[in-house]
Structure 1
Amino acid sequence: MGWNSANRIFDPVARALINTGADDNTKRKVLGDLIGELQEGDWDTGDESLEDFLDDPAIVAAFHDRNVHTQDRSCCRRTVLAEAQDRITEALAAKFADGATEADMYAVYHLADGEERTRAVTAQEAGQVAFEAIRDLIGGTAP
């Protein structure tokens, strides 16, 4: 079989898993095993199939597990962006959403007459939480 033909094996299986609502772990395992077997048969156009499924992180991960990337590495950028978005969302939710303490959700300031007021979190404070999540993701340090 010509191994561009392997795309005709892989693509329908991947679409079937998507259409049946398979969970991400199942897609990653089943497709990872399939990719490995097709590679054993000298599949040399896996990157073309990968391009058709860039919107599915589990399928991208299955390809990455088998060291298959798009020629321009756009698959890697999407993966990093998706992870950054997840980290920021988690950090903001932990700091400001349900389950956060009242002290985290509001800032208290004191008026000259001794009264206390509260204010909602500022965009700058939320931005700092997002910045810290990104910094933790890439392993950097604050400027």
Structure 2
Amino acid sequence: MGWSSANEIFNPVARALQTAGADDDTKRKVLGDLIAGLQQGDWDTEDESLEDFLDDPAIVAAFADHGVHTNDGRCCRQNLSAEAQRRITEALAEQFADGHHERGMRVNFQAPDGYPASRNVQPDEAAQVAIDAIRDLLTSTATAQQPTGTTDPR
């Protein structure tokens, strides 16, 4: 027999960490330890708590570290997207560390007049363009891999 009231322990602790502004590493470690302890007590509704915190990549990662995922995989896609954005931003920020645009660090876009244009970008802007492209690629790949007659749960 499972233990569903563990949500009443986990959720307030997770919210308190969010409210206190705990950094991602702290949330992931503290909540990961809590998840492990609650699972030892036969917590069988951890996926319900996960659903409540899908907007927090650190909490999603804590659940993933302990084998808890949403049935439709939304947790993993969201977490991977956030992690990719963070890594791309950091990598691009290193390229811009001296405050000067590096040669080739330009974004191509369609100008209002319909003609292609390009301009220098800041690391966060370049990261957003890159993550959008990656998200489009992952979405098209996931859609292409679905069996006929199913719908994408995203």
1:80 and 1:70 map into 2 onto residues whose CA distance is: 14
1:103 and 1:71 map into 2 onto residues whose CA distance is: 43
Paired residues of 1:94 and 1:100 also in contact (CA < 8 A): no
Q: TM-score normalized by structure 2?
A: 0.63
Label 1:23 to 1:120 Cα distance change in 2 as closer, same or farther (>3 A).
Answer: closer
Paired residues of 2:101 and 2:120 also in contact (CA < 8 A): no
Label 1:35 to 1:103 Cα distance change in 2 as closer, same or farther (>3 A).
Answer: closer
Shift in Å, 1:88: 3.2
Secondary structure in 1 matching 2:4: coil
Secondary structure in 2 matching 1:104: coil
1:47 and 1:25 map into 2 onto residues whose CA distance is: 21
Secondary structure in 1 matching 2:85: helix
Is the counterpart of residue 60 in structure 1 residue 56 in structure 2? Answer: no
Q: TM-score normalized by structure 1?
A: 0.67
- Percent identity between the two aligned chains: 64
Paired residues of 2:50 and 2:70 also in contact (CA < 8 A): yes
1:44 and 1:121 map into 2 onto residues whose CA distance is: 51
Paired residues of 2:3 and 2:43 also in contact (CA < 8 A): yes
Q: Could you say which structure has the larger radius of gyration? A: 1
Which whole-Å deviations, capped at 9, do the CAs of 1:63-88 have from their partners, x for residues lacking one? Answer: 01101001111000001111222233
Which whole-Å deviations, capped at 9, do the CAs of 1:8-65 have from their partners, x for residues lacking one? Answer: 1100010111111112111111111110011011101101100111111111111011
Shift in Å, 1:90: 3.1
Q: Which amino acid aligns with 1:63?
A: F
Which whole-Å deviations, capped at 9, do the CAs of 1:112-141 have from their partners, x for residues lacking one? Answer: xxxxxxx9549xxx69x938x95xxx9xxx
CA RMSD of aligned residues (A): 3.3
Paired residues of 1:47 and 1:69 also in contact (CA < 8 A): yes
1:93 corresponds to which residue? 93
2:26 corresponds to which residue? 26
1:36 and 1:42 map into 2 onto residues whose CA distance is: 10
2:102 and 2:52 map into 1 onto residues whose CA distance is: 46
Structure 2 unaligned segments of length 5 or more: list them.
107-117, 139-154
2:48 corresponds to which residue? 48
Structure 1 stretches (4+) deviating beyond 6 angstroms? none
Label 1:92 to 1:106 Cα distance change in 2 as closer, same or farther (>3 A).
Answer: closer
